[in-house]
Amino acid sequence: MLRSLARRVNKAPFTSNVDRVEILDDGKLRVTEGFLPLLRANGLHSFDKIMACSGGTMMRSVPGRSTVKIELPRPDGGTQVAFLKRYEPEYLSSGKKLLRLLHWPGADDEALHEWNCIRVLRDAGFNTAALIAVGQERGAGIVRRSFLLTAEIAGGIAAHDYVRTLKVKARRELALQIADLARRFHGAGFAHKDHYLSHIFIVPSGSPTTAPDYYYIDLQRLIRPRLFQTRWVIKDLAVLGYSALLSGATRADLMRFCHAYFQRSRLTADDRRLIRSVMSRVNGLRQRRPKYDVIWDQPGVHPPNV
| Confidence band, pLDDT 50/70/90 cuts, at residue 301 | very low
Per-residue pLDDT, 226: 82
Per-residue pLDDT, 100: 83
Name the percent of the chain lying above pLDDT 70: 88
In terms of Cα–Cα distance, which of 14, 16, 17, 15 is closest to 224?
14
Delimit the domains of the chain by residue range. 21-151, 155-297
In terms of Cα–Cα distance, which of 10, 31, 8 is closest to 20?
31
Per-residue pLDDT, 80: 97
Question: Following CA atoms 253, 204, 297, 218 in sequence, which dihedral angle do they give, to the nearest 10 degrees?
Answer: 120
Per-residue pLDDT, 24: 96
Q: What is the mean pLDDT of residues 205-230?
A: 87
Choice among 171-180, 203-212, 224-233 with the minimum mean pLDDT: 203-212
> According to CATH, what is the number of the domain 155-297?
1.10.510.10
Alpha-carbon distance 107 to 100, whole Å?
5
Q: What is the mean pLDDT of residues 13-42?
A: 85
Per-residue pLDDT, 13: 39
Cβ neighbour number for residue 219 with a 10 Å cutoff: 27
Identify whether the C-beta of residue 17 lies closer than 8 Å to the C-beta of residue 7.
Answer: no
Specify the 3-state DSSP secondary structure of 65: strand
Cβ neighbour number for residue 42 with a 10 Å cutoff: 17
Tell whether the model's pLDDT for residue 82 goes beyond 50: yes
Per-residue pLDDT, 293: 44
DSSP assignments along 150-193, one per residue: EE--TT-EEHHHHGGG--HHHHHHHHHHHHHHHHHHHHTT-B-S
Mean pLDDT of the chain: 87
Q: What is the mean pLDDT of residues 67-85?
A: 96
Per-residue pLDDT, 296: 44
Per-residue pLDDT, 18: 58
Tell whether the model's pLDDT for residue 10 goes beyond 80: no
Per-residue pLDDT, 15: 45
Per-residue pLDDT, 2: 44
Write out pLDDT tens, residues 145-185. Answer: 999 999 999 999 999 999 988 888 889 999 999 999 999 99
